[in-house]
A and B are shown apart, each in its own frame.
Chain A
Amino acid sequence: MRTLLLAGTALLTLAGTAIPAAAQVSDNVIRIGVMNDRSGIYADLAGEGSAIAARMAAEEFGNKVAGAPVEIVVADHQNKADIAASKAREWVDTGGVDVIADVPNSAAALAVQGITKDKKRIFLMSGPGATALSGAQCSPYGFQWTYDNYAMAAGTGRALYEQGKKKWFFVTADYAFGQSLEEETTKMVKSLGGTISGSVRHPLGTSDFSSFLLQAQGSGADVIGLANAGGDTVNAVKQAAEFGITQSGQSLAGLLMFITDVNALGLQSAQGLMLTTGFYWDMDDQTREWSKKFEAKAGKKPTMVQAGVYSAVKHYLKSVEAAKTDDADKVTAKMREMPVEDMFAKKGRIAANGRMIHDMYLAQVKTPAESKGAWDYYKIVKTIPADTAFMDPKQSGCALVK
């Protein structure tokens, strides 16, 4: 039966232009599954906002590509890898989902990557940062779109080094992502000639950082690199201000910080922080215009993850339109062939390891006096050109790179 079907599809494909386009879209619908955390720690970063962004991308095509309607479905993986895995399987096996998008939380994303690779479905990762997703665990159908831990860590590391801050101390979350952030930054700083004066590992979900910060202060480093995320980074920054660390001349660098973290901190505590970002709503007219539309629906400005979902979904739909089918192999070929061009990425391209290569930006958090209001948080200090922003695909450890 299955071979028959396959043969049928092959025949149809061969027949090519003679058949109306819609006939080549499986079950006549392009179904995009936005899976993320809708209630936990990533809910503000991705959550419903990512679904809104995906819908905005579909609307630009009139919710129809290659003659087939586009449908967006959503699911909450609750930050559990097993829920992500079972939902992804269910979507692919019985839900007719062609593409899975977003999936913050690296464990969940790795689980989904395994399934989409087996089942030949396209996976557009905007939320997860683990470099393994475009490295050892890469997939011909998996695209890491918005950022990754390397880009965040190395970008900030290099930029601060160039400002003359050469001696680093790390406060690292004792988790795989924390260690990889520390490792990538260390490599970058050392390769430029800087030194590492020490590091301290703290358990995830630590509420009191004073002890670690004091150790960092005692080290005499120029920069304290915060190789942690979310609530941990927020607490660390807040307490660094309290203990007068920034006043005493040391700088803080958030190696994995998002605009939602800055919002949680408030500018009073966050001012002056350096960080790398893949997107900021107030960069140019295009981003401002899109973000305004987004804000009208979501009630707040988009994060880079949400903007990345929009860009990835849009590029996917464009490629379906161009390939006139939703066949995963043909669509991915088109996706790799066409440049990514939208308000999020200018002249972006997809590398062999599935990494979408685009410009990243070094941002500094504004002082309360500089900010004109809610979400006016960043000064873009520098554009990190696409060529140097990401890890060289050859060194990513991805088997697809020859």
Chain B
Amino acid sequence: MFSLLGVPPQVLFGQLLLGLINGSFYALLSLGLAVIFGMLNVINFAHGALYMVGAFVAWLLLTYLGLGYWWALVLAPLAVGLLGIALEKSMLSRLYKLDHLYGLLLTFGLALILEGAFRHQYGVSGQPYPIPAALQGGQNLGFMFLPNYRAWVVVASLTICFGTWFAIERTKLGAYLRAATENPTLVQAFGINVPVMVSLTYGFGVALAGLAGVLAAPIYQVSPLMGTNLIIIVFAVVVIGGMGSILGAIVTGLGLGLLEGLTKVFYPEASNIVVFVVMAIVLLIKPAGLFGRER
């Protein structure tokens, strides 16, 4: 039996598949960030916190209203999206005329508030959230045991990612959006309400984070700190992909998930850092990121 650097191929396949699953989380989160950045020029530091809120909404729905996973899949992103729109209308929208850095700082503060408040209310030990009955169990693929839920996560997030990409790059609505980023005044003159469109975009971007939160709830702990560590990695993904590039975010998210999966086999201690190493290398060679345009 042949092996690669001492690792049998079936282990490698297994790890790559797992990497793809993680990558689809990265893709979903970085997609939201990229949409927001592309349209609003805001680095949404609160993205990780809103991902956490999404997971918590799912847990709250189950605990207090008895509404299960499938309801949460619809309601939680909606709730997070509405929260996002409220934040955008009341705070973020005041900052567009200023340096973009203020958007980053504002959302950083919002992230602290959201995480602190949930921590204060629910503690940090985390809350259990079961895998929905329909997706329990798994398939034996020969080289590994693939839980059905993980397969569902990959399918769901890839569908959403490419759906979003299609909507923005290939439809009329997407064309308006892109035009509004380039020249808001002109688009406004065509009779399109740009501020509303911007709010909706932000709402949509954070709804994606909320959705990722619901998808994550059954496999990770529902805890106020779940977004804190993830967000930094997702930032790196967005930077590597080229900020604002939708396709870049998706492809880089998946690619880095795979790379991280491999790192977990060969040098597991470094699996949290490999993303940053890649980032430094990419920036040295291509400062605008893999899919970014030089501005």
B98-106, B118-126, B172-180, B236-244: which one contacts chain A?
B118-126
Residue in B closest to A201 when the chains form the complex, CB atoms: B269
Given contacts A201-B269, A214-B14, A231-B221, contact A242 B147 (CB under 8 A): yes
Question: In whole angstroms, what is the CA distance A40 to B15 when docked?
Answer: 32
**Could you tell me if A243 and B138 are in contact, using CB atoms closer than 8 angstroms?**
yes
Question: In whole angstroms, what is the CA distance A264 to B15 when docked?
Answer: 27
A117-125, A205-213, A390-398: which one contacts chain B?
A205-213
Instruction: List chain A residues, Cβ under 8 A from B11.
Output: 214-215, 218
B21 at the interface (CB under 8 A from A): yes
A39 at the interface (CB under 8 A from B): yes
A235 at the interface (CB under 8 A from B): yes
B166 at the interface (CB under 8 A from A): no
List residues 232-250 of chain B with CB under 8 A from any CB of chain A: none
B195 at the interface (CB under 8 A from A): no
Residue in A closest to B271 when the chains form the complex, CB atoms: A203
A9-17, A104-112, A265-273: which one contacts chain B?
A265-273
Majority DSSP secondary structure for residues of B touching A:
helix
Instruction: List chain A residues, Cβ under 8 A from B144.
Output: 214
Instruction: List chain B residues, Cβ under 8 A from A222.
Output: none
Instruction: List chain A residues, Cβ under 8 A from B47.
Output: none
List residues 218-248 of chain A with CB under 8 A from any CB of chain B: 218, 230-231, 234-235, 238-239, 242-244
The smallest beta-carbon distance between A201 and chain B, in angstroms, is 5
**Could you tell me if B272 and A244 are in contact, using CB atoms closer than 8 angstroms?**
no
Count of interface residues, chain A, beta-carbon cutoff 8 Å:
38
List residues 1-34 of chain B with CB under 8 A from any CB of chain A: 11, 14-15, 18-19, 21-22
Tell me which of A43, A200, A207 contacts B229 (CB under 8 A).
Answer: A207
Scoring B116, B120, B125, B127 by chain A CB atoms within 10 A of each residue's CB, the highest score goes to B125
The smallest beta-carbon distance between B235 and chain A, in angstroms, is 16
A41 at the interface (CB under 8 A from B): yes
The smallest beta-carbon distance between A365 and chain B, in angstroms, is 13
Residue in A closest to B227 when the chains form the complex, CB atoms: A207
Tell me which of A206, A210, A231 contacts B223 (CB under 8 A).
Answer: A231
B131 at the interface (CB under 8 A from A): yes
**Could you tell me if A205 and B229 are in contact, using CB atoms closer than 8 angstroms?**
yes
**Could you tell me if A44 and B138 are in contact, using CB atoms closer than 8 angstroms?**
no
* A250-267 contact mask (Cβ, 8 Å, vs B): 1 or 0: 000000000011011110
The smallest beta-carbon distance between A262 and chain B, in angstroms, is 10
Question: In whole angstroms, what is the CA distance A231 to B220 when docked?
Answer: 9
Question: In whole angstroms, what is the CA distance A203 to B269 when docked?
Answer: 5
List residues 252-296 of chain A with CB under 8 A from any CB of chain B: 260-261, 263-266, 268-269
**Could you tell me if A39 and B119 are in contact, using CB atoms closer than 8 angstroms?**
yes
A202 at the interface (CB under 8 A from B): yes
**Could you tell me if A40 and B219 are in contact, using CB atoms closer than 8 angstroms?**
no
Instruction: List chain B residues, Cβ under 8 A from A231.
Output: 124-126, 221, 223, 225
**Could you tell me if A244 and B269 are in contact, using CB atoms closer than 8 angstroms?**
no
For chains A and B in complex, what number of residue pairs have CB atoms within 8 angstroms? 109
Tell me which of A205, A212, A242 contacts B131 (CB under 8 A).
Answer: A242
B71 at the interface (CB under 8 A from A): no
**Could you tell me if A244 and B18 are in contact, using CB atoms closer than 8 angstroms?**
no
**Could you tell me if B229 and A210 are in contact, using CB atoms closer than 8 angstroms?**
no
Instruction: List chain A residues, Cβ under 8 A from B268.
Output: 174, 200-203, 211-212
The smallest beta-carbon distance between B231 and chain A, in angstroms, is 12
**Could you tell me if B124 and A40 are in contact, using CB atoms closer than 8 angstroms?**
yes
Tell me which of B14, B138, B230 contacts A207 (CB under 8 A).
Answer: B230
Question: In whole angstroms, what is the CA distance A235 to B145 when docked?
Answer: 18
Given contacts A203-B271, A234-B221, contact A44 B125 (CB under 8 A): yes
Instruction: List chain B residues, Cβ under 8 A from A260.
Output: 125
Instruction: List chain A residues, Cβ under 8 A from B120.
Output: 39
Given contacts A243-B147, A268-B128, contact A208 B220 (CB under 8 A): yes
Question: In whole angstroms, what is the CA distance A44 to B18 when docked?
Answer: 32
Question: In whole angstroms, what is the CA distance A211 to B14 when docked?
Answer: 8
Question: In whole angstroms, what is the CA distance A243 to B126 when docked?
Answer: 21
Question: In whole angstroms, what is the CA distance A320 to B221 when docked?
Answer: 44
Question: In whole angstroms, what is the CA distance A268 to B126 when docked?
Answer: 15
Instruction: List chain B residues, Cβ under 8 A from A201.
Output: 268-269
The smallest beta-carbon distance between A379 and chain B, in angstroms, is 20
B149 at the interface (CB under 8 A from A): yes
B109 at the interface (CB under 8 A from A): no
The smallest beta-carbon distance between A209 and chain B, in angstroms, is 9
The smallest beta-carbon distance between A192 and chain B, in angstroms, is 28
* B149-172 contact mask (Cβ, 8 Å, vs A): 1 or 0: 110000000000000000000000
**Could you tell me if A211 and B230 are in contact, using CB atoms closer than 8 angstroms?**
no
Question: In whole angstroms, what is the CA distance A3 to B8 when docked?
Answer: 73
B132 at the interface (CB under 8 A from A): no
Question: In whole angstroms, what is the CA distance A90 to B167 when docked?
Answer: 60
Residue in B closest to A42 when the chains form the complex, CB atoms: B124
Tell me which of B145, B221, B273 contacts A243 (CB under 8 A).
Answer: B145
**Could you tell me if B18 and A208 are in contact, using CB atoms closer than 8 angstroms?**
yes
Question: In whole angstroms, what is the CA distance A232 to B19 when docked?
Answer: 18
**Could you tell me if A214 and B128 are in contact, using CB atoms closer than 8 angstroms?**
no
**Could you tell me if B265 and A215 are in contact, using CB atoms closer than 8 angstroms?**
yes
Instruction: List chain B residues, Cβ under 8 A from A45.
Output: 125
**Could you tell me if A211 and B221 are in contact, using CB atoms closer than 8 angstroms?**
no
Question: In whole angstroms, what is the CA distance A339 to B128 when docked?
Answer: 41
The smallest beta-carbon distance between B52 and chain A, in angstroms, is 12
Given contacts A244-B145, A264-B128, contact A202 B138 (CB under 8 A): no
B58 at the interface (CB under 8 A from A): no
Tell me which of A210, A212, A218, A263 contacts B125 (CB under 8 A).
Answer: A263
Question: In whole angstroms, what is the CA distance A269 to B125 when docked?
Answer: 15
Question: In whole angstroms, what is the CA distance A211 to B149 when docked?
Answer: 16
Residue in A closest to B126 when the chains form the complex, CB atoms: A264
| Chain A residues engaging chain B, CB cutoff 8 angstroms | 39-41, 43-45, 174, 200-203, 205-208, 210-212, 214-215, 218, 230-231, 234-235, 238-239, 242-244, 260-261, 263-266, 268-269
Write 6 A-B pairs (CB below 8 A) sorted by A numbering. Answer: A41-B225, A174-B269, A203-B271, A203-B273, A208-B21, A231-B225
Which 6 A-B residue pairings sit nearest by Cβ, starting from the closest?
A: A266-B128, A203-B272, A211-B264, A264-B125, A264-B126, A44-B125
A215-B265, A242-B138 given; 8 more Cβ-contact pairs under 8 Å:
A44-B125, A200-B268, A203-B273, A208-B219, A231-B126, A242-B150, A244-B138, A265-B128
